[in-house]
Structure 1
Amino acid sequence: MAGRLEGKVIGITGGASGMGLAFGEAFAREGASVLIVDLNEDAAKKAVEGIVEAGGSAAYAVANVVDRTQVVAAVQTAVTEFGRLDVWFNNAGYNAPMQFLDITEENFRRVLDINALGVLIGTQEAAKQMVAQGQGGKIINTSSIAGREGFPTFAPYSASKAAVISLTQSGAKALAKHEITVNAFAPGVVATPLWDKLDEDLYAIGDIQSRGTALNEYEKGIIRGRMAHPKDIVGTALFLASEDSDYMTAQCIMIDGGMTLV
């Protein structure tokens, strides 16, 4: 029985760890050829090896999402390895918490560059390839509950993820004539390795009183009663990458266990 993504070629940034890796593995299990795009070459190689060992098809490209030349090269790697590009997942992200009154221009620009400019560049370059192929495609963007609700120690991150939602809407309108859909999803508190560093950062700025408590503090108020794990988000990613979402565009799906009500 063919998988839901049989024959599709999917590129995913930040694909070597956390949610990105879980998505890549799931896409491969459903029959897609997956391009893991990441700054960490060793982690990207390991991710590809794991997918191939499990019977899937994968390759990798090392790229900084704010460097257009590197993103273009990553897109071309997908075409070289697999012949085409059907889905591009702008998943790479960055956060560097600071108390609101301490936020610097450098902090703000770095977070916005990676989380918002990186989405713009990835969307543009992937879409150019899809337009050239002439058969449409899908762009999927990782936003966040922070894109719907501001957090005092995450102000640049919140601004960047709100920008992701706006870029999703703008891209959807611009690319509809090419049969390219653009959608996003917004996770809440997800237990990934990124939270280890985030925990240290939040402790350093006094947002939490004890190390190792950030996840528990931030999961309070979730209606489902617990934080998410990458496997909880995989189903949404598969839906957005598959034909099941063909009529959906310009949307941002909240998948946060009920943490944010909008």
Structure 2
Amino acid sequence: MDLSGKAAVVTGSGRGLGLAYAEALALAGASVVVNDVDAAAAGAAVEKITAGGGRAVSVVAPVGGAATADALVDKAVSEFGRLDVMVTNAGVLRDKVLWKMSDEDFDTVVDVHLRGTFTCARAAAVRMREQGTGGRLILVSSPAGQRGNFGQTNYAAAKAGVVAMARTWAMELARTDITVNAVVPVAATGMTKTIPALAPFIEEAERTGEPLPDWLRRDEGFGTPEDAAPLVVFLASDAARGVTGQAIGIGGDRLALWSHPQEKAAAYAAGGWDADTIAERWSTGPGAEPETYGIPAPSVPAAHGPEAGS
């Protein structure tokens, strides 16, 4: 992929998935605005990209409000003359079960993930429409937003909203050749290291430098941040000009298209329904095959469990 002449912003790109996205875009030829709340991480990311021959500058600011969104777009325009790609990756976690989650826990996560995606995408769309040459909005979601996840009311709700915004904006921006897609990555990061079923494998890979197991990469679609980055490069490229309004999963060896919610089963009652009729017909009608919920726990082969060979 050749992204020469294009300018991109990647929020939350001082480390982890965001850094992998920024590096991959720069390697493909794009000029990149790195963003992080950690000045040292942002500076190190810029140094790493420029040392590899890429072009990068940083904006140290928390994502959420319009001021940061505008600063990111302004930086791209002042440094590189334009903005072609906005990747809304910044995120935080405040995991707690419903009855223990505070207003602050909820608001903090929603502000960064959902409001931050909105403000950054809005600022980018305004600039891209002014340029008149199209553009790419690449919104980062999560399997938690597609299926729900224990202890992540705030995060799952925000990430579900991100996909809903992608579908909506794909319609609104279609006439201006601005595509909008949601990326649903699964990768070994500081966030996924908190998941008990995955932590031993991530820690083992970090300790030994060995790759993640083949079964984990293929069967669970779980890999490194670098495994997820090529999808962002593809979506930023001219090759993806016809791809919009999609939620696309990537992780390890797996690339997947997530379905959009739709009616699965329906039944009809002449004149409408009352509660007793719903109760009578539910288990043999629309509720005969209820949907699952929650992210399935990894199915660890017996020969590959954390205790295997110890």
**The TM-score by the shorter chain falls in which range?**
0.7 to 0.9
Superposition pairs of residues 1-262 of structure 1, within 5 angstroms: 3-188=1-186, 190-195=187-192, 199=194, 208=196, 212-213=199-200, 224-225=219-220, 227-256=222-251
| Cα offset, 1:213, TM superposition | 4.5
Cα 1:212/1:248, change in 2 over 3 Å: closer
| Cα offset, 1:101, TM superposition | 2.6
> What amino acid is aligned across from residue 2 of structure 2 in structure 1?
R
Cα contact 2:31–2:55 (8 A) shared by 1: yes
| Cα offset, 1:242, TM superposition | 0.8
Cα 1:130/1:173, change in 2 over 3 Å: same
Distance 1:256 1:144 in 2: 11
- Alpha-carbon displacement from aligned partner over 1:185-234 (angstroms, at most 9, x marks no partner): 1012x1123445xx2xx7xxxxx59x954968xx9987525731012101
- Alpha-carbon displacement from aligned partner over 1:45-100 (angstroms, at most 9, x marks no partner): 11111111111111111222112112201210110000000111001111111123
SS across alignment from 2:147:
coil
For normalisation by structure 2, the TM-score amounts to 0.73
C-alpha RMSD of the superposition: 2.5
Higher relative contact order (CA 8 A, sep 6+): 1
Provide structure 2 residue ranges, at least 5 long, that are not aligned to the other structure: 204-212, 260-310
Cα 1:136/1:152, change in 2 over 3 Å: same
Provide structure 1 residue ranges, at least 5 long, that are not aligned to the other structure: 203-207
The higher radius of gyration belongs to 2
Distance 2:145 2:192 in 1: 18
SS across alignment from 1:74:
helix
Matched-pair identity in %: 36
For normalisation by structure 1, the TM-score amounts to 0.86
Distance 1:87 1:150 in 2: 29
> What amino acid is aligned across from residue 231 of structure 1 in structure 2?
E
